[in-house]
Structure 1
């Protein structure tokens, strides 16, 4: 058994813990923006392949006191880096957290890199070069107080980047947050799903990937662990083949994405095309004022503009009132979940919430408001 650490967005720790338990993880413990868990190599590969909520999976290799740059350098040099890379391999170091003496992430990363490459030069006369974009070994150093944890990064590029979304709207949801909102809405694939404000399509696409049981990792190029010395290519190919065999070919209930801007709707269609599901989703160019229910009941999930990055707040007040009126007058029998990032705008909806779930959209504190439409 190996100890791992999954990094997640603030507020999604318990959802990620549930997901990890479903994958078979043991010793699952939540902490701020992360989850500790244990498992074998198969689990490490499986989490990277299947997670819908986690940013990256780290493998801690050392924990040590870290009061200043000199101590950090010494502690990193105490490790035998021949176990992890040769001078011919490239390297990248990413740092999170800080303390009084180490408060600049680039400087801190430089100490780690120097400690490793100085050791290599002493041993062989050669040293690894830095490749920030596609390194053979990616390291993560996290400083909390006077302690540092140094980890191998098994994921590489953040797992929220599924690989299907080169086309993005003005303020898109991260794919991991979209997947979390879908979980929080308690939507099941047997229930019709509608996003009336779909933008570049992240919510309908994530719902479709879940309903068709498509592993998000199948859409990506490469994971960092594929370059590790102990990488097991046969196991990895078996897990990917198993994931492909578990995919469904047809949605049990329809999924709609509506957007009034034709260019942005085209972005959504391009994104769904990139993951092979464009024909599964009903994309519609639709103004909110002309929106009518496509069937008797279902789940509405949407992320309207809050006036933080998109839209003028005064203009948005009337838009929120319209949204409330459309839901109240036309969508009897449905349940709506709306991500609210602005309390004053939320009041304009004019509907009574049956649940209010706190979430974060990046650094913006939001409420996922639930409305039972009778």
Structure 2
């Protein structure tokens, strides 16, 4: 492909794709098209080399070699052998293969890698009697195999290893930021424009120096790949070294010019002396030690560089994921906000965090918010304009927002119960990594409400009072509840969302009650979900099934997973986190399937690689018995207690219809597969005698989370296997 242009796929972390499009257009690439987790474009070999040398955002540069059907191992083997590998490597070359598979009958990526390797090795052995060997570290040729819906795409990885590895890092201190994510933060915050105008850059929490180093590379127009000694194309037989040397020489010349003219201060501070030592080591390795200043300094000792009137303060403080608890970190974020406001007037600032509450603790109004991913961790890049209109608010000021009116005797009684529950459940939730849980559930007969915490907001459900209760008395008790909640939880009244819970008919619980459309992100262990606290009676996440979902995650490795009556896809997310090889989510509602897709993508999984089926589950099961028999290894079946939706041909009653429902579902279960069946009908009785050919294990007790221990009849759950 020396001068001929052909398709390239340049991968990048989620959230960086729009920036990567701009970068590739700036490098002269054609037909640039944004896709999920990457950008497709057309270019020559020289273009591909320039991407490897100059892209600050890309992870890998893939050159497609072939596409073919691969419904089984034999087809995969034959398709790989259809390539003349002697055009790409020699018999004594080393190779490595990376594979990802989705919605394909070949479900195990390592097996696919092995089969691909066998096809290549066998071709050489037959032709020459010799064979290439496997080398996972820096092979001569690295291949990328992607299996999707039984179609294989096989590409040459020209980068060889991720391009975020610039070549200057010698020691990672305290969960370092990947270099291409740091570059994305700087580009989002406008650092190239700020530095061109003479502005400074300061990172007051610099760790091992990634942000200042990437800022220096940009400000000096230094190619991020200039220090690298290994690329995937260097051992490729079609590599054109003369073209590569031209690219390297041009990059080196620009670097020499850039470092000679850089005048703006670039500074990194950190309180940890080990981090500062590592930062200086990295700066020397990058040849930037004369241009960047690192210094051990606490945040409360921060001062901006003298003689500079504008600049960018940028920081990657700890999130609370690995490095500390978010409650403990709130004062640090608030102190950072104070430094920004008081020490850097007229500057811009950027702070990345995965915790919305920590972002709020900064105490300043963000001018822009961008979503970026640090690995699988969804983060927000908060951008601030530090002017006189952006007033910093201390944590004590925030706490004073809550009115301190005396509580009535009843409200005080309710508040005391809340405090007791919070003391017990708050520590439990912290240990479990859960920020959405049930704090109170009609513990006191007089106060028949359910209080569910979703981060810093409350989903309050009032159980409809019986006709024997005076309506004025019921209204007074709700006023008591609404007065006590802000006092105990240190929130404002607008953070409480009140619903009235009554016995539901049909699909009432899914009907819209408002149209605000505001989604809030919450955490459940290693999963994240979007909930809606205003528009529906339910929020999009059934809290009582937390342990059931965790069980699904523990069972899902390598399994083909089916989520029936899938709702917003929470069980599907857990299955993917557990390593499910393929997932299918079935629900009647397009709204909920779209919500499920967003939940899946929120957790770092490509939604377009999962299957979503909009259908009446009962009708779909009837049809699927013929063409999907034995397809799924793990099934979650959580039907409504009753439904008479207009989209259904008939009514559904879980007590009346569960035998037929389970029989239809079990026909889709593979040999050795497992089915988890659950129902929230409190009076439900399993027809055990109808399933003497099955193993039925009542696992209800093990699926009740601690916050629902007071209400053991919240649901019933069975693990079902074929005998």
Identify the TM-score tier after normalising by the shorter chain. Answer: over 0.9
The structure, 1 or 2, with the larger RCO (C-alpha pairs under 8 Å, 6+ apart) is 1
Are residues 1:262 and 2:257 paired?
A: no
The correspondence for 2:248, drawn from 240, 252, 274, is 240
The correspondence for 1:253, drawn from 258, 264, 268, is 264
The correspondence for 1:193, drawn from 201, 215, 221, is 201
Structure 2 residue aligned with 1:210: 218
CA RMSD of aligned residues (A): 1.3
* TM-score with structure 1 setting the length: 0.97
> 2:92 & 2:310 partners in 1: Cα distance?
60
SS at match of 2:185: helix
> 2:295 & 2:309 partners in 1: Cα distance?
18
Structure 1 residue aligned with 2:318: 305
Which stretches of structure 1, 4 residues or more, deviate above 4 A after TM superposition?
A: none
Structure 2 residue aligned with 1:290: 301
The correspondence for 1:281, drawn from 292, 305, 312, is 292
> 2:329 & 2:360 partners in 1: Cα distance?
12
* TM-score with structure 2 setting the length: 0.51
- Give yes or no for contact 1:98–1:104 (8 Å, CA) kept in 2: no
- Give yes or no for contact 1:69–1:101 (8 Å, CA) kept in 2: no
248-257 or 48-57, larger mean C-alpha shift:
248-257
Kindly report which structure 2 residues correspond to 1:144-223, keeping only aligned pairs within 5 A, or say none.
144-188=148-192, 189-190=195-196, 191-223=199-231
Structure 1 residue aligned with 2:372: 359
How much has 1:185 moved relative to structure 2? 0.4
> 2:119 & 2:384 partners in 1: Cα distance?
56
SS at match of 1:309: coil
Over residues 208-255 of structure 1, what are the superposed CA-to-partner deviations in whole Å (9 max), with x where a residue is unaligned?
A: 011111111111112121212122222221221111111212323111
- Give yes or no for contact 1:162–1:219 (8 Å, CA) kept in 2: yes
> 2:103 & 2:88 partners in 1: Cα distance?
27
Over residues 335-369 of structure 1, what are the superposed CA-to-partner deviations in whole Å (9 max), with x where a residue is unaligned?
A: 11111210122221111111111111111111111
- Give yes or no for contact 1:98–1:105 (8 Å, CA) kept in 2: no
Give the unaligned 5+ runs of structure 2: 388-723
> 1:297 & 1:37 partners in 2: Cα distance?
37
> 2:273 & 2:261 partners in 1: Cα distance?
27
Structure 1 residue aligned with 2:18: 14
> 1:368 & 1:64 partners in 2: Cα distance?
40
How much has 1:317 moved relative to structure 2? 1.2
Distance change in 2, residues 1:100/1:64 (3 Å): closer
Kindly report which structure 2 residues correspond to 1:26-65, keeping only aligned pairs within 5 A, or say none.
26-65=30-69
How much has 1:92 moved relative to structure 2? 1.1
- Give yes or no for contact 2:326–2:355 (8 Å, CA) kept in 1: no
> 1:342 & 1:296 partners in 2: Cα distance?
31
Give the unaligned 5+ runs of structure 1: none
> 2:34 & 2:372 partners in 1: Cα distance?
16
How many pairs are equivalent? 374
- Give yes or no for contact 2:333–2:358 (8 Å, CA) kept in 1: yes
SS at match of 2:134: coil
> 2:359 & 2:189 partners in 1: Cα distance?
18
> 1:174 & 1:97 partners in 2: Cα distance?
25
- Give yes or no for contact 1:256–1:283 (8 Å, CA) kept in 2: yes
Structure 2 residue aligned with 1:117: 121
Are residues 1:229 and 2:240 paired?
A: no
> 1:297 & 1:86 partners in 2: Cα distance?
56
SS at match of 1:203: helix
